[in-house]
Structure 1
């Protein structure tokens, strides 16, 4: 059962990451690319969290917290930059 769960999680997260990469490449505006980057980061956080849950260890929790905060701060900074450019 664990192997099936790991395969299903891998497929779903891979599809989500691929779609985010496509949106980053084809995005018509900067904000579309920023949202796609956030989605890719959230997918990566989900993958690390799923790996920790499947292997039953909590050693990657500090990494998840740091990457989440980095993604949040980066998104806020890029949106503030984009708003300043439009004004």
Structure 2
């Protein structure tokens, strides 16, 4: 692996981990439920990006498959939480 790619991966992992920590802080201290939902969205996106960088670093395709699943479940969860915040229920009778 190229030295520049190696250090870029280390830097990217550090930045994504820092962003994940900031989003966790916002999730715990957010003043409104909307802030907490946005923090949760940011957390799953940062987790997805960490997995993608690890997949590139280790050269394994399993990381990409897991990142795809996290993206799909995160999108569905975000849509469900947004509907719950708007209407108070996810499944309408």
Where structure 2 has 5 or more consecutive residues not aligned to the other structure, the ranges are: 89-93
Contact 2:27–2:39 (CA under 8 A) maintained in structure 1: yes
The total of aligned residue pairs comes to 85
Which residue matches 2:38?
35
Which residue matches 1:50?
53
Larger relative contact order (CA 8 Å, sep ≥ 6): 1
TM-score scaled by structure 1? 0.87
Find the residue that maps to 2:62 and give its secondary structure.
Answer: coil
RMSD: 1.3
Where structure 1 has 5 or more consecutive residues not aligned to the other structure, the ranges are: none
Shift of residue 6 of structure 1? 3.2
